[in-house]
Amino acid sequence: MSHPIDPVNVSPIPPLQDSYTYHSALPSSVSGLPTNESEGWMMGIDEAGRGRPMVYAAAYCPLSFKPTLEDIGFDDSKALSADTRQSLWESFDEHTPLCYSSTSLSPQDISRNMLRRVPINLNRQAEDATIGLIRSALERGVNLKECYVDALGPAPQWQARLTAIFPTITFTVCPKADSLFKIVGAASIIAKVTRDRYVHEWVDPEDMGVDGTHPLKVEGEEPIARGSGYPSDPKTQAFLKEGLDPVFGYKGIVRFSWATVKVLMDKQGVECKWIDDQSQPSAASWFGAEADTGRPKVWRDLGATGVGEL
């Protein structure tokens, strides 16, 4: 799903219930020419967050902009202060040839895919997000010639796969690409700032007002300290332990497929036992006089014949 407005630039930030992709505006020089006749561009791709909302971002600019890009100050976002990251975020508005796209994966969508009958693991979802960002740029008329990607798993295999999908682009995939290539550092800023805004200003759908747009506020209520969202963060650990409902688990910001959460729920959650179809008599008996003999009382009361109906 594509959004014309990036929700992280809206106040208050709406709950991230569905994944979406946002594209900044392209300079006018991109439109009006066939892609193969327009100026060549470079792209960098990086991600932020593997537990709660995961954001994949692509920064891209004309190859001729590279000397200017080198002097802006982009670097691995984790090595920069929050104020510096914010300043670099704003530099995208100051330099019109510098563009970005971001794909924000909601906790619900990540869990929904990981908990399917045929699971789509986190790495595969990340790969799909990366491929989607590149494909979207090409479809918008950007003449991509070079693409630098922070390594996802074994770099040579991932680089070979991207090259096979997009043979007209020269790929460089390696660890620490956000420190080695300024264009990947720029993508790192977009991914980190976007994700941090969701984590720190998140409002759960259950806590929204009647109009569905403004959060309910209790006078004197302290802001929720969620930490960075990484399991090594003591604040995140405290948030997860204190926020766990033993029956229902967590609200929307926490994905249930996260290994850290699975461990906590196994330790602190209440075990639920479900009556399955194995306790039923044979299907043929449902049509006889003893159709209700083997069904639990709750099933008879509800008129249910199988778990699927519950």
E strands along 17-154, which residues? 20-23, 41-48, 54-62, 99-105, 144-150
State how far the Cα of 188 lies from the Cα of 136, in Å rounded to an integer.
19
Tell me if 290 is assigned to a ligand binding site: no
Closest-CA residue to 166 (of 195, 135, 139, 141): 135
Tell me if 46 is assigned to a ligand binding site: yes
| Buried-exposed string 17-52: b where 16+ CB fall within 10 A, e elsewhere | eebbbbbbebeeebeeeeeeebbebbbbbbbbbebb
Residues 6+ apart with CB under 8 A from 127: 152, 158, 161
236-245 LR contacts (CB < 8 Å, sep 24+) = 240/264, 241/268, 244/268, 244/269
Tell me if 292 is assigned to a ligand binding site: no
Strands of 2-3's sheet in order across: 2-3, 20-23, 99-105, 54-62, 41-48, 144-150, 170-174
Residue 226's CB: how many other CB atoms inside 10 A? Answer: 20
| Run of H or E including 170 | strand 170-174
Residues annotated within a binding site for a divalent metal cation:
46-47, 150
Binding-site residue positions? 46-47, 150
